[in-house]
Homo-oligomer: A and B are copies of this chain.
Amino acid sequence: MREGGSPTVISKQALQRLPYYTRFLRGLREQGATIVAAPAVAAALGLNEVQVRKDLAAMSNGYGKPKAGFILDELIENMEEALGYHNSDDAVLVGAGSLGRALLGYGGFAECGLNMVAAFDANPALVGSSISGKPVFPMSKLGDICGRMNIHIGVITVPACAAQPVCDELVAAGVLAIWNFAPTHLSVPANILVQSENMAASLALLSNHLRQRLHEDMP
């Protein structure tokens, strides 16, 4: 933020820390705090003090004050703005399987600025029903509905083998950002963003850690 209102380029990594800061700072505010220092945040979230200070400074309108810290309200406001929590984006979900249904039913996305308006599925048995209040349409309607509703975000929760064709359809329908839960790589044009939710990759880290821990005990 800072003065003029906009740039202060924020790094990808920092952007991903913002939700944690936001959550923690809101908690502080509820307890009546109005100012917060970087070291306190760092300790609470298990981060490096300098890193936190830089992140907070980037989200502060003016400057932090020595011996005191940063203004809470400013930080929270600017973080929410940077995270897009203020202007909510409409999205569609493709693949109303168990994971898709869970995501449709999760209320937490609303406060993150994501509003799922509809689902699509290839299974005729699901079409016409509604899940957590969201209507399920046939795949054939995807282009039409996305176009008319001006949808820019697509969520993919279909099996891996179906993911690429679905992705292509979403792109053709005008979607600019894709949240992919299928365990596969998706090829898209250069200006489209794919954010893959890497469950298998996460598991890889867990399993690897576990093996190392169990081995060091008895080598």
CB closest residue in chain B, given A178: B206
Is the beta-carbon distance between B199 and A197 smaller than 8 angstroms?
A: yes
Residues in B with CB closer than 8 Å to A16 are: 198, 201-202, 204-205
**Which one of A62-70, A95-103, A122-130 is at the interface?**
A95-103
Residues in B with CB closer than 8 Å to A101 are: 98, 102
Is the beta-carbon distance between A205 and B15 smaller than 8 angstroms?
A: yes
Interface status of A141 (Cβ within 8 A of chain B):
no
Contacts A177-B210, A207-B83, A210-B177 known; A185 to B112 CB distance under 8 Å?
Answer: no
Contacts A185-B44, A193-B206 known; A23 to B213 CB distance under 8 Å?
Answer: no
Residues in B with CB closer than 8 Å to A143 are: none
9 closest pairs, A vs B, by CB?
A84-B207, A102-B102, A19-B200, A16-B201, A193-B209, A98-B102, A177-B206, A98-B105, A45-B185
Binding site for B on A (CB under 8 A): 12, 15-20, 23-24, 44-46, 82-84, 89, 98-99, 101-102, 105-106, 108-109, 112-114, 152-153, 160, 176-177, 179, 183-185, 187, 191, 193, 195, 197-211, 213-214
